[in-house]
Amino acid sequence: MNDAHILLRATCAIYAGAARDAWRALVRNPWLALLVPAYTALLHLAAILAAPLGFAGGFLLGFALAACASSFLAVLAEATSHERVDFGALGSSFGRYLWSVVSIFFIFWIIQFLLSAIIETNAGLAWLAVLVNAALFVVCNPVPELIYQSPRDGMQLVDEAITFTRENAIEWLAPVAILLLPLFAFDVRTGLLIMSSIGPTNALGYAMMGLSSLLPSMGPVGLLVIAVLASAGIAWVMLFRGFLFRVLSRSGRRQRIFDARMRGL
pLDDT tens readout for residues 64-102: 999 999 999 999 999 998 667 777 778 888 989 999 999
User: Region 13-21: what's the mean pLDDT?
Assistant: 94
pLDDT value at position 190? 77
The whole-number average pLDDT for the span 189-197 is 80
Of 75, 41, 19, the residue nearest 236 (C-alpha): 19
> What is the full DSSP assignment across the chain?
--HHHHHHHHHHHHHHHHHHHHHHHHHHSGGGGGHHHHHHHHHHHHHHHHGGGTHHHHHHHHHHHHHHHHHHHHHHHHHTTT----GGGHHHHTTTSHHHHHHHHHHHHHHHHHHHHHHHH-GGGHHHHHHHHHHHHHHTTTHHHHHHH-S--HHHHHHHHHHHHHHTHHHHHHHHHHHHHHHHHH-HHHHHHHHHH--TTTHHHHHHHHHHHHS---HHHHHHHHHHHHHHHHHHHHHHHHHHHHHHHT--HHHHHHHHHHHT-
Res 1: pLDDT: 57
Asked whether 211 and 222 are in contact (CB, 8 A), the reply is no
Mean pLDDT of the chain: 85
Q: How many domains does the chain have?
A: 1
Residue 182: the pLDDT is 78
The alpha carbon of residue 16 and the mean position of all alpha carbons in its chain are separated, in whole angstroms, by: 19
Q: What is the pLDDT of residues 199-216, one digit of tens each?
A: 877 887 778 777 777 676
In this prediction, residue 219 carries a pLDDT of 66
Q: What is the pLDDT of residues 160-169, one digit of tens each?
A: 999 999 999 9
What is residue 264's three-state secondary structure?
coil
pLDDT digits (tens, 9 = 90+) for 117-163: 888 888 777 888 888 888 999 999 999 999 999 877 778 888 999 99
Q: Which domain holds residue 19?
A: 3-263
Q: How many CB atoms lie within 10 A of CB 244?
A: 25
- Mean pLDDT across 175-197: 81
The proportion of the chain whose per-residue pLDDT surpasses 70, expressed as a percent, equals 94
